[in-house]
Amino acid sequence: MSTASRLPGIVTTDHFFLVPLDHQAPDGEQIEVYAREVVAAGREGDELPWLLFLQGGPGGKANRPLGRDGWLVRALDDYRVLLLDQRGTGRSTPATRQTLGRRGGARQQADYLAHFRADSIVRDAELIRRRVLGADGRWSLLGQSFGGFCTLTYLSLAPEGLREAFVTGGLAGLRSSADDVYRAAYPRVARKNAAHYARYPQDVAVVRGIAAHLAEAPARLPDGGLLTVRAFQGLGLMLGSGTGSHALHHLLAEAWVEGVDGPELSDTFLAGVQAQLSFARGPLYAVLHESIYGQRSVDVAGTGWAAERVRAEFPEFDAGSALAEDRPVLFTGEMIYPWLFETDPALQPLRETAQLLAERTDWPDLYDSERLAANQVPVLAAVYHDDMYVDTADSLETGRAVRGLRAWVTNEWEHDGLWASGGQVLDHLIKMARGEL
């Protein structure tokens, strides 16, 4: 049953769809996928084109609007929006440490999660499109970050379902292995570190002090997780957003209090760190992260913890050496490491499952280069200059490989430009699609 709600400026309707766990076995096990329809208040009965939104991740649920906010300010001028909780996330059939145990052991869990990549997400979307719009109906698509990766898969598998596609910060390298991705990522992250320390030079000493303390005595986070030096370096994930450097600085500024036995890390700081580092709200992000790059024609040996392996090629990220040599301690970025499944309580029960996925070598290809080269769907993409999360060179190469794709390269926004711009980024892409720019 669909349930409608009214919020400031919008009307939302809940939808639940049964889809096959394995689209190659449509009569087999079914799982539930949730989507929230959003339309401008007063336009509920209007015949509006549909815009499907695929969020970033992997493993992140769609945004929960509190009204006509964020990029919806612009989207709802023209569209009826469908916010999809990709399989395993949000109100769709969940895949977490609490639910995956029902699948059986690690092998059964890994086999189950192998059906949670972009190809399955796209096939879910196509099934939903046919149910909502009919077999001949087409909708527009907005893919943010990983959602852009899914958009490229959609254009490869089922372009006939699309009127147009908008991509923000999500043009993946079509033939980039996981090793390629991280080999390009570490230098970008180093540049973001340099920019942060140039903006807040006082943080060099603060970060070194925290790292030295954690090297002697790792701290317990409020949820029982272990804050090691390597885990602390993971706060660099914040540096890829428009306000992330400032937020990180404010977090570091409250790191210390004077306790009974002298200086100690404050509860305020530890709670803030946990909010940034815990995967309790999105465990699939960690479990499936490297698998989004897995393609058997590219990664013959599988992804195999590529971020950890490639990190050894960049010794500047070694905190111990930085402390010994009186250098700034560098934060890392969007990297998932095997030891996270030992330090994070939300991931600990999934350690063996994640290992099996890392060892998997038979990931189907996600992109059809020939079909993309013959693409007929208008594709408009925002490419953020020196995006910390998605390599700009990869994005531009992919832009050239997809027939008819128009890329807008900008340094006005960081990776979160879709959200931070209040609709300006989406407006720019829509104007490009309409021939106004």
Residues annotated as part of the active site: 145, 362, 415
Per DSSP bridges, beta strands 139-144 and 80-85 are unpaired
Helices 178-199 & 203-216 angle (0-180, nearest 10): 120
Q: What count of Cα atoms within 13 Å lies in the side-chain half-sphere of residue 377?
A: 26
Cβ atoms of 375 and 156 closer than 8 Å: no
Residue in the structure block whose two tokens are 């280069």: 369
C-alpha to C-alpha distance for 334 and 390, rounded to whole angstroms: 10
List CB contacts of 301: < 8 A, sequence separation 6 or more.
Answer: 361
Q: Is the dihedral of CA 307, 308, 312, 318 positive or negative?
A: positive
Q: What whole-number distance in Å separates Cα of residue 144 and Cα of residue 125?
A: 15
Count the neighbouring beta carbons within 10 Å of the beta carbon of residue 221.
20
Q: How far apart are CA 298 and CA 214, in angstroms?
A: 39
Q: How far is CA 234 from CA 180, 276, 278, 327, in A?
A: 20, 9, 11, 18
- What secondary structure does DSSP assign to 142-198, as a single string? EEETHHHHHHHHHHHH-GGGEEEEEEES----TT--HHHHHHHHHHHHHHHHHHHHH
Tokens of 74: 């612009």
Burial call 313-341: b when 16+ CB within 10 Å, e when fewer: ebeebbbeebbeeeebbbbbbbbbbeebb
Token pair listed for 204: 């060099």
- C-alpha 179/C-alpha 188 separation (Å) is 15
Strand, helix or coil at 352? helix
